[in-house]
Amino acid sequence: MKLAKLFKDTNSGGTGCPTVYLAESGEFVVQGHSLDASTTAELENVLPGESAVRISADIVLGAVERYLSAREH
């Protein structure tokens, strides 16, 4: 699967996460910090092979802005 970086936390020092990518399939891929066990336990219906990460709302909004802007051009 090919990924195109949409938005990255500018406070992460140029490496690491959080980052949001657009996959060639049209899906978003999110790179972020793993959840702790107690937070993971709050998730509903987690199927085998699924996981969750945490990122700030600013990263999501920045990625959506870039996604929508790219679709307009």
pLDDT tens track for 15-38: 778 999 999 999 999 999 999 999
Residue 32 backbone dihedrals phi, psi, to 5 degrees: -160, -175
Q: Which amino acid is at 73?
A: H
| Cβ partners under 8 Å of residue 19, min gap 6 | 5, 7, 8, 9, 30, 31, 32, 59
Q: Residue 37: which domain range?
A: 3-42+51-72
pLDDT for 72 beyond 90: no
Structurally, the chain folds into a number of domains equal to: 1
State the average pLDDT over residues 43-69. 94
Q: What is the pLDDT of residue 3?
A: 97
Q: What is the pLDDT of residue 19?
A: 93
pLDDT for 52 beyond 90: yes
